[in-house]
Amino acid sequence: RTHRWVNHYPIQTLQRLMHAVFPQSMDYRFSDLRRPDLDEDIMKCSIWSRHRNSLSAPSTSAVVFVQPPWILSWGDFESFVRCSSVSSDKLLNTDPFKTTFSSDERLWAKIWDVSFQQKSRFFIVTTYWGWVWGAFSRAWTNGFVTRHCDFRESSPTILESSLYWLASAMELEGSWQVPEVSEPIYSSIETPCLVRDIMPPESWEVDRRTLLALSVLT
């Protein structure tokens, strides 16, 4: 329900504003990210990307993550943004024996996974009541987020901030640039392997509980 509300109102309004203000974005649309996901009941994603009818190659510029406020509480949101920037030691778990993660660690990990799979360094996280804008560095080893903004913000408004963020994601003139940081530049990064990648397609719907159990094995 939260995702439908966000999608039907601020997201669609944002799309119309982008098309009106930036004609070069006319090939882009918001669409739901549809794929099997163990978190699909508590998190929905929309992507800002070139639509299929475009003559240009497909490209995703930003991902919008939507969670209900009773899942991503105000306190969890504050914990997430308390790290205005995070480095690889926070984004990557190097301890093979660690099985317990804080809410902000789980959220950062989810955002990194989906954003990397979509090759989109810019993202937005919202519960509708709260909004945060973020981005990853060029080599995906550092993440940056803004402060936690209430939906009643007026200077700038949520729509104004989101418009600026999409313009930045598309690297339009005068937009924000991700800070340069010291990091290794990899020629390629292995895409995280998900349980569904090694299971027959039909098994996802047949026994989701089994897949969930497999996904938490260490």
| Burial class of 103 by CB neighbour count within 10 A (0 to 12, 13 to 18, 19+) | middle
Q: Reply yes or no: is the peptide bond before residue 156 cis, omega within 30 of 0.
A: yes
| Burial class of 126 by CB neighbour count within 10 A (0 to 12, 13 to 18, 19+) | buried
Confidence at residue 55, expressed as pLDDT on a 0 to 100 scale: 56
Write the single-letter amino acid at 165. W
Residue 85 above 90 pLDDT?
no
Instruction: Report how far residue 111's alpha carbon sits from residue 67's, in angstroms, rounded to the nearest whole number.
Output: 12
Confidence at residue 218, expressed as pLDDT on a 0 to 100 scale: 43
Instruction: Report how far residue 15's alpha carbon sits from residue 195's, in angstroms, rounded to the nearest whole number.
Output: 34
Residue 71 above 50 pLDDT?
yes
Confidence at residue 168, expressed as pLDDT on a 0 to 100 scale: 96
Instruction: Report how far residue 147's alpha carbon sits from residue 43's, in angstroms, rounded to the nearest whole number.
Output: 21
Residue 165 above 50 pLDDT?
yes
The most confident of the ranges 30-39, 125-134, 209-218 is 125-134
Average pLDDT over residues 34-60: 77
Cβ-proximal residues to 162 (8 Å cutoff; 6+ apart), any chain: 10, 14, 124, 131, 133
pTM of the predicted protein model: 0.80
Confidence at residue 3, expressed as pLDDT on a 0 to 100 scale: 80
Instruction: Report how far residue 62's alpha carbon sits from residue 47's, in angstroms, rounded to the nearest whole number.
Output: 6
Q: Taking a C-beta distance cutoff of 8 angstroms, is the pair 210, 199 a contact?
A: no
Question: Residues for the chain: how many in total?
Answer: 218
Q: Can you give the residue ranges of every domain in the chain?
A: 2-187, 188-218
Instruction: Report how far residue 89's alpha carbon sits from residue 64's, in angstroms, rounded to the nearest whole number.
Output: 24
pLDDT 10s digits, 11-29: 999 999 999 999 999 999 9
Q: What is the CATH number of domain 2-187?
A: 3.90.1570
Residue 49 above 50 pLDDT?
yes
Confidence at residue 35, expressed as pLDDT on a 0 to 100 scale: 73
pLDDT class of 139 with cuts at 50, 70, 90: confident
